[in-house]
């Protein structure tokens, strides 16, 4: 008999936690700065196509592997296809998750700094240009960056120590709906700024002249990042799903909500960027320059600022929780150690990497990998290599190798629902579109095309 896992208690809870994983800094920090660097509309169109053709099918492939076995990737593949070498990619996923969490939590540390300075009143009251130097000075200060990053990690692992149900599910249920409401308020505010239409034009006017191949690669990496794909996160989460949850419906709901948050963040950021005459291609510092400027012109700015950074903090922590849960579940499943031990090992390792990348803009700024500092290197290889590779592997595995009865069974919950169009669509994308697209990207990296 299968050992019963204590998982998510309700379907809402499972969705909220998975949306919590998906919605995070990827949507609110990374999506706007990537769209800004890649010229706006055309990048967003490519991004949406990636969500439909790659995102939803790959989410499904991870869900099918996780939910059919209630195991994390290595055990799942062993159970589904004994002896298959595909199980070895579980290590790639776990390693990728550790690296991604290592730089992601640094940005979470920045969020705490901005929350802190909004609350003590020192953040607001400057010019847009000053915000740029405030940010640069801050990330150049090793102590502050390291302290906030470590504090964030401590909070992250405290929540995790309370387990899936009481920790992850409870936080996600409360924070995610609040985040939506607040984003909508900020959208309305941004749209009312003078000259906001220029920002909307930048976001929604599709001009492929502004988008090179690099932009297409970035859009694909961002789709993977935003939906938490490729590093076995969704296999891990779906291993805790109930057998009666409807995978396809959940996958579509999660992708739609995630994309909505990204687009709403764009609508908050770009009208303001153009209204205040700032530079859309400012890179990772974009939201940290523009948000204080936005809050400042709102009545009761300090309160808005605090509220926003609190919610951004919660959006981030539900994401790092999911990233940390990957190695934790892996260690428990593979080495049969207690949750407490797995948690400590993961915490030490991730915090060490996080501290090193927190120093990328100060003490370690001369250390370059692929011409990038450590932080930028991880922000590049995480989405653009580890997630894409993992996506390729799960797509090929479910598309070509896994018994189609398992796929059918998971899509229809053992024949309870129909999947006349869904299954062919998913399988077609997993067999052809995802592998071809990802392999083309890899060929592009190595300079063959
Ligand atoms: N999706 C999250 C975001 O957009 C980041 C994230 C959380 C993630 N868990 C993940 C990315 C697992 C890859 C894998 O912010």
Domain over 11-445 is classified CATH 1.10.4160.10: yes
Q: Whose CA is nearest to atom 2 of ligand 1?
A: 22
Check pocket membership of 282 for ligand 1, CB cut-off 6 A: no
60 Cβ neighbours under 8 A, 6+ residues apart: 247, 248, 251, 398, 411, 426, 430
| Structure tokens, 91 | 């290590």
- For the Cβ of 21 lying below 6 angstroms from any atom of ligand 1, the answer is yes
Q: Is the model's pLDDT at 7 over the cut of 90?
A: no
Cα-based distances in Å from 208 to 222, 223, 267: 18, 19, 20
pLDDT digit string, tens, across residues 331-358: 998 999 998 999 999 999 999 999 999 9
Three-state SS at 352: helix
For residues 58-83, give the mean pLDDT: 96
Ligand 1 nearest atom to the CA of residue 382, by list position? 13
- Ligand 1 pocket test target in 34, 94, 225 with most atoms within 8 Å of CB: 225
CA-nearest residue, atom 13 of ligand 1: 228
Q: What spatial distance separates the first Cα and last Cα of the chain, rounded to whole Å?
A: 51
> What are the structural domain ranges in the chain?
11-445
Q: Check residue 177 and give its pLDDT.
A: 85
Strand partners, 372: 369
Give distance in angstroms: CA of 198 to centre of ligand 1.
30
**Average pLDDT of 262-284?**
94
Contacts of 359 (CB under 8 A, 6+ apart): 142, 145, 146, 374
Tell me how far apart the alpha carbons of residues 299 and 308 are, in angstroms, rounded to a whole number: 14
Of the candidates 25, 410, 92, which has an alpha carbon nearest to the alpha carbon of residue 228? 25
CB of 20 closer than 8 Å to CB of 172: yes
- Which atom of ligand 1 is least distant from the CA of 258? 4
- Bridge partner list, 369: 372
356-380: per-residue pLDDT in tens?
Answer: 999 999 999 999 999 999 999 999 8
Comparing CA positions, the residue from 4, 37, 3 lying closest to residue 286 is 37
Kindly report, residue by residue over 115-131, the tens digit of the pLDDT: 999 999 999 999 988 99
Reported residue count of the chain is 449
Using an 8 Å Cβ cutoff, are 149 and 361 in contact?
no
Ligand 1 centroid from CA 68, angstroms = 23
> If you write DSSP's letter for every residue of 240-287 in order, what string do you get?
TS-TTS-HHHHHHHHHHHHHHHHHHHHHHHHHHHHHTT--TT-GGGHH
Is pLDDT at 1 greater than 50 in this prediction? no
Question: CB of 105 closer than 6 A to ligand 1?
Answer: no
* Ligand 1 probe mutation, 17, 18, 21, 106, most atoms within 8 A of CB: 21
Query: Which residue's alpha carbon is nearest to atom 7 within ligand 1?
Result: 319
> Phi, psi at residue 59, to the nearest 5°?
-55, -45
37 contacts 222 by C-beta, under 8 angstroms: no
pLDDT at 4 (0 to 100): 47
Distance of alpha carbon 293 from alpha carbon 403, whole angstroms: 54
Cβ(322) – ligand 1 distance below 6 Å: yes
**For residues 131 and 289, is the Cβ–Cβ distance under 8 A?**
yes
Tell me if 231 CB under 6 Å of ligand 1.
Answer: yes
Residue 34 to residue 50: CA distance in whole angstroms: 15
- pLDDT tens digit string along 153-204? 999 999 888 866 666 667 767 777 888 899 999 999 999 999 999 999 999 9
């Amino acid at each position: 008999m299968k050992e019963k896992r204590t998982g998510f208690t309700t379907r809402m809870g499972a969705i909220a936690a998975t949306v919590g994983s998906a919605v995070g800094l990827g949507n609110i920090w990374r999506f706007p700065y990537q769209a800004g660097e890649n010229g706006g509309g055309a990048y967003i169109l490519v991004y949406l196509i990636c969500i439909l053709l790659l995102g939803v099918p790959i989410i499904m492939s991870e869900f099918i592997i996780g939910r059919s076995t209630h195991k994390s990737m290595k055990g799942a593949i062993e159970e589904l296809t004994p002896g298959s070498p595909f199980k070895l990619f579980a290590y790639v996923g776990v390693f990728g998750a550790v690296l991604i969490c290592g730089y992601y939590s640094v940005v979470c540390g920045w969020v705490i700094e901005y929350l802190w300075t909004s609350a003590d009143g020192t953040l607001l009251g400057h010019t847009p240009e000053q915000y740029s130097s405030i940010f640069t000075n801050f990330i150049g200060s090793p102590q502050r960056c390291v302290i906030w990053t470590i504090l964030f990690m401590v909070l992250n692992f405290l929540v995790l120590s309370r387990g899936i149900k009481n920790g992850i599910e409870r936080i996600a249920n409360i924070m995610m709906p609040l985040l939506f409401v607040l984003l909508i308020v900020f959208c309305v505010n941004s749209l009312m700024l003078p000259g906001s239409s220029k920002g909307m034009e930048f976001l929604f006017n599709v001009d492929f002249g502004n988008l090179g191949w690099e932009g297409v690669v970035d859009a694909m990496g961002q789709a993977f990042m935003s939906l938490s794909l490729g590093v076995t996160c969704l296999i891990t989460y779906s291993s805790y799903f109930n057998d009666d949850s409807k995978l396809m419906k959940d996958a579509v709901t999660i992708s739609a909500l995630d994309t909505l948050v990204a687009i709403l963040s764009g609508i908050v950021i770009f009208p303001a960027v153009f209204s205040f005459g700032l530079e859309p291609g400012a890179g990772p510092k974009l939201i940290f320059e523009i948000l204080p400027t936005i809050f400042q012109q709102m009545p009761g700015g300090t309160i808005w600022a605090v509220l926003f950074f609190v919610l951004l903090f919660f959006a981030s922590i539900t994401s790092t929780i999911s990233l940390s849960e990957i190695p934790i579940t892996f260690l428990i499943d593979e080495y049969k150690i207690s949750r407490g031990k797995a948690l400590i090992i993961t915490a030490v390792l991730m915090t060490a990497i996080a501290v090193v990348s927190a120093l990328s803009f100060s003490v370690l700024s001369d250390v370059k990998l692929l011409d990038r500092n450590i932080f930028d290197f991880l922000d590049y290889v995480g989405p653009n290599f580890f997630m894409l590779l993992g996506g390729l592997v799960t797509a090929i595995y479910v598309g070509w190798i896994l018994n189609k009865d398992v796929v059918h069974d998971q899509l229809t919950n053992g024949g309870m629902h129909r999947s006349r169009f869904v299954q062919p669509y998913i399988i077609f994308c997993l067999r052809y579109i995802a592998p071809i697209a990802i392999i083309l990207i890899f060929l592009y990296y190595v300079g063959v095309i």
